[in-house]
Amino acid sequence: MSCQSQPSLLHKYMGIFFSTMSSEELLGSLDSFDAREDDIFLVSYPKSGTHWLAEVIERIPDAGITLTSPIELGDISKFEELKRIPKRRAIPTHLNYEMLPVTVKQKQCKIIYIVRNPKDTAVSMFHYYRDNPNLPSTETWAAFLELFLKGDVVYGSWFDHVLSWEEHKNDKNVLFIFYEEMKKDFVKSLKKITAFLGIDVNDSEMAKIARSTSFSEMKSNAAKENCDPNHVICALTSDRNLVFRKGVVGDWINYFTPKQNRVFDELFTEKMRNSDVGRCLKEYAHSQNA
């Protein structure tokens, strides 16, 4: 079943599919959001590691940071809700760069963008579409992959999203993190993140964060915290059990047929030909297959 046949779950805004959990009024009012200079934005395309990143930020001791629900989740009352948070805010979002509120850009808020191999992202999204009642179900992997490659999925084209952010990856207030890099050397990535945020974390605290944000630990915590309405990091569900599936690198190989892989690689080469991020993702994929 395609997105188009279940229109009540999705709506298009500025040519991009959004869940109806993000109201059109809220999306149209994003530029009226009053960002604070110490705000942190945790950004990604869906199913790229936002929850992992959010859990890491939340577990930095004595950082005085409050994790909020996504800026695009809900209706126009969202801005009042965010205004009431007294501490430094860490705000998750799946918005592309163009849609990010203008005050976030003006005040140069810290932004961490996490990017993941799009083949793994596509597989993860396929399962999310199947399991999440807030998204249209797709009966087959082949049908979903076709939608993914066209950008006819929630939050639009992976390529457009990543490229919109890559244009700003050298901005001093933007930090790019690779999901694969975090998996390979978590402590190195954590050091990058804490240095970027200007927070001191000692080695024993780093080890503790690494233990508490392992995939198995987060998955088991999700079941316990599922009833907490304040702990919503995803703009597509409040059911935390839906969020954590496998969390592995390279699972795509179990889904893509040789032909699908060829079609994907051709599109990737075409869209990402001038992209440093694309080159890095290819290197990670190559080192993993070596």
Would you name the residues annotated as active-site residues?
Answer: 94
Q: Write b or e for each residue in 59-94: b if 16 or more Cβ atoms lie within 10 A of its Cβ, otherwise e.
A: bbeebebebbbbbbbbeeebbeebeeeeebbbbbbb
Annotated binding site for Ca(2+): 129, 132, 135
Partners of 115 in the β-ladder: 178
| Alpha-carbon distances, residue 13 vs 17, 20, 37 (angstroms) | 6, 11, 28
| Alpha-carbon distances, residue 24 vs 28, 74, 104, 221 (angstroms) | 6, 10, 20, 33
Q: How many CB atoms lie within 10 A of CB 180?
A: 22
- Are the CB atoms for 134 and 21 separated by under 8 Å? yes
> d(Cα 134, Cα 10) in Å, to the nearest integer?
8
Q: How many residues does the chain have?
A: 290
Residue 149 structure tokens: 């490659």
